[in-house]
Amino acid sequence: MKIAIPADEKRIDSTVCQSFGRTPFFVIYETETDDAEFLDNSAASSQGGAGIKAAQTVADSGVSALLTPRCGQNAAEVLTAAGILIFKTENSSITESIADFKEKRLEQLQEIHAGFHGHGG
């Protein structure tokens, strides 16, 4: 299955970005084959509504799940509408988070924070 993770750099050994909407990149990881590709997040430089735009990018990439430390209301609405499950990462390493997911150690994200009304950070 394909999953997405916000990434600080375009490297698999990088860290999970703490912001979903303004992450510079997303890593799209295929768990069956361990293939990874990186997407630029055009929402990173948006004036507002970054979470919404980032969620659209993730939804368009065809993933079934997103691993992230946090997510805003507006972004969550978009992801849920696309049928994408949102899991909360516990580790700051991308590779560790993928391992956590594969081994079913991750829980679904419960605390969806209030929309930042276009001004999050």
Binding stretches for other proteins (CB under 8 A): 22, 43, 46-50, 52-53, 55-56, 59, 74, 77-78, 81-83, 113-121
Q: Report in angstroms how near the CB of residue 43 gets to other proteins at its nearest.
A: 7
**Which of residues 52 and 94 has its CB atom nearest to other proteins in the complex?**
52
Alpha helices by DSSP H, the chain: 50-60, 73-81, 94-102
What does residue 7 show for φ and ψ, rounded to 5 degrees? -125, 140
> Whose Cβ is closer to other proteins: residue 23's or residue 98's?
23
Tell me whether residue 38 or residue 116 sits nearer to other proteins (CB atom).
116
Minimal distance, residue 60 CB to other proteins, in Å: 9
Q: Which amino acid is at 97?
A: S
Q: Exposure pattern of 100-114 as b/e (b: 16+ CB <10 Å)?
A: bbeeeebeebeebee
- Minimum Å distance from CB 13 to other proteins? 18
